[in-house]
């Protein structure tokens, strides 16, 4: 694979950019692989990359029913942070942030990781207590997070309205300076390019329609829209469609799938330098490098597989945005879209082995899995390669819903973008 460097960019600039090769191949599926990953989002492609790079497993394929990055990886608002309450979550998300910090160099691909700071607003006494508890807990785990008064929050985010007269006045904020955003497409493409260069077959337009099992119950392969493929190891990384794919192997999952929406405004000059989140009013906002305000809403109230969501949900979010930032009231919204997120009862992911031999699952990231992409992919690859959990994903078992050892980020955060 040709590396991106100053000299290769200069050569191509002089050459009219005619010499760049394809970023990844378009292979025909083989009859058998050592391992198959279902789902070509960031998590699936990342797992394939680390399987090849760190565990020497190169006879593997990623099967994607549409195009890579066409799922939630390409639909999210790209907020990255690691200031979660519980030790288990903090370890997992901080592992991811550490990998984000070196990801562009690791992949030789600019994922545009920008540590511009994530500011989380507190609007009531409960928020204040809860966020302060997060700050203390995060510091004990070596994770940066600091408490700010409304005036300090405004200094950090000048457009913020801290007037005490609004419906949900700002009573303070928690700031993680190492939090920020990354370019979602670039993450998918960077992992795809890196995995392909290590020999991984990335097969698009290939929907898995069945998972086959032998007499001992172990997986033996998959049936797809492009024919049957044999394998002894399958990693399922299909986000909102996990219940359906795991159902193919006869495993019922403790998941609900909800639409989650986002929208972008018309592009404007740089005016918003951080990421701002308000869990209480369900509004999240940052500004993309193109100048669009990127705005995220809360989930719909009802389960659904329609990638749309209700108009009243985004309207509610825009009400909150206009109150927090009155200067945005006259801006026009350009596009809105939805994705399907898979939500567990405790709002923490499930990543690890399953009751079926050779079948591994990575799911339940709900509204907040983009930030985990490198960390999740890294530990999932370890689990698939060694058939045992990595110490970081060991607590995130499917079994915890039977044993009761929950990691209750639902109670801790309510919404977890």
Q: Which residues bind ligand FAD (CB under 6 A)?
A: 38-44, 63-66, 70-73, 75-79, 207-208, 237-239, 241, 245, 260-262, 296, 339, 341, 365, 367-371, 417
Q: Rank residues 150 and 349 by Cβ distance to ligand FAD and give the closer one.
A: 349
- Nearest distance from residue 179's CB to ligand FAD, in Å? 10
Q: Which two tokens stand for residue 386?
A: 């060694």
Cβ pair 56, 253 in contact under 8 A: no
Q: Rank residues 171 and 186 by Cβ distance to ligand FAD and give the closer one.
A: 186
Q: Rank residues 171 and 183 by Cβ distance to ligand FAD and give the closer one.
A: 183
Strand partners, 93: none
Q: Report phi then psi at 43, rounded to 5.
A: -65, -45
Strands (E), 39-78: 60-63
Burial bucket for residue 129 (CB in 10 Å: 0-12, 13-18, 19+): exposed
- C-alpha 72/C-alpha 342 separation (Å) is 11
- Nearest distance from residue 328's CB to ligand FAD, in Å? 19
Determine which helix (DSSP H) or strand (DSSP E) holds 147, and give its type and residue range: strand 146-148
Q: Rank residues 52 and 246 by Cβ distance to ligand FAD and give the closer one.
A: 246
Residue 188, CA distances (Å) to 80, 103, 185, 395 in order:
15, 12, 5, 27
Place of tokens 């890294």: 378
Q: Rank residues 150 and 235 by Cβ distance to ligand FAD and give the closer one.
A: 235
- C-alpha 134/C-alpha 86 separation (Å) is 9
Q: Rank residues 166 and 303 by Cβ distance to ligand FAD and give the closer one.
A: 303
Name 149's Cβ contacts closer than 8 Å, sequence gap at least 6: 172
- Nearest distance from residue 16's CB to ligand FAD, in Å? 34
Residue 297, CA distances (Å) to 65, 138, 178, 281 in order:
27, 26, 23, 9
Q: Rank residues 162 and 362 by Cβ distance to ligand FAD and give the closer one.
A: 362
Cβ pair 197, 1 in contact under 8 A: yes
- Nearest distance from residue 194's CB to ligand FAD, in Å? 15
- Nearest distance from residue 237's CB to ligand FAD, in Å? 5
- Nearest distance from residue 180's CB to ligand FAD, in Å? 11
Q: Rank residues 122 and 202 by Cβ distance to ligand FAD and give the closer one.
A: 202
- C-alpha 128/C-alpha 153 separation (Å) is 13
- C-alpha 230/C-alpha 273 separation (Å) is 49
């Amino acid at each position: 694979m040709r590396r991106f460097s100053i000299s290769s960019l200069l050569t191509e600039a002089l050459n009219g950019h005619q010499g760049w090769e394809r970023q990844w191949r378009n292979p025909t599926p083989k009859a058998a692989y050592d391992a198959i990953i279902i789902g070509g989002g960031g998590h699936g492609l990342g797992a394939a990359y680390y399987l090849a790079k760190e565990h020497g497993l190169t006879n593997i394929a990623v099967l994607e029913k549409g195009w890579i990055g066409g799922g939630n990886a390409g639909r999210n608002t790209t907020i990255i942070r690691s200031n979660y309450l519980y030790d288990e979550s903090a370890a997992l998300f901080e592992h991811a942030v550490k990998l984000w910090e070196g990801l562009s160099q690791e992949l030789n691909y600019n994922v545009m990781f920008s540590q511009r700071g994530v500011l989380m607003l507190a609007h009531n006494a409960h928020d204040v207590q809860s966020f302060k508890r997060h700050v203390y807990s995060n510091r004990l785990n070596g994770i940066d997070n600091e408490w700010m008064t409304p005036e300090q929050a405004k200094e950090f985010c000048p457009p913020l309205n801290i007037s005490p007269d609004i419906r949900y006045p700002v009573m303070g904020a928690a700031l993680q300076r190492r939090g920020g955003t990354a370019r979602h497409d670039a993450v998918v493409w960077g992992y795809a390019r890196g995995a392909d260069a290590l020999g991984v077959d990335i097969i698009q337009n290939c929907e898995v329609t069945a998972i086959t099992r032998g007499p001992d119950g172990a997986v033996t392969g998959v049936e797809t829209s492009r024919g049957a493929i044999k394998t002894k190891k399958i990693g399922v990384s299909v986000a909102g469609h996990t219940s359906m794919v795991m159902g193919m192997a006869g495993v019922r999952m403790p998941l609900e799938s909800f639409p989650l929406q986002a929208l972008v405004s018309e592009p404007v000059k740089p005016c918003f330098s951080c990421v701002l989140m308000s869990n209480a009013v369900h509004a999240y906002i940052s500004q993309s490098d193109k100048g669009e305000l990127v705005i995220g809403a809360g989930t719909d109230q009802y389960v659904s597989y329609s990638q749309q969501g209700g108009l009243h949900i985004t309207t509610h979010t825009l009400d909150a945005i206009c109150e927090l930032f009155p200067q945005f009231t006259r801006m026009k919204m350009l596009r809105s879209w939805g994705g399907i997120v898979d939500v567990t009862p405790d709002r923490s992911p499930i990543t690890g082995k399953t009751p079926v031999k050779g079948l591994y699952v990575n799911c339940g990231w709900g509204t907040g899995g983009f930030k985990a992409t490198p960390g999740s992919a890294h530990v999932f690859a370890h689990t698939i390669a060694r058939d045992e959990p990595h110490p970081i994903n060991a607590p995130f078992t499917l079994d915890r819903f039977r044993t009761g050892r929950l990691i209750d980020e639902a109670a801790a955060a309510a919404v977890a973008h």
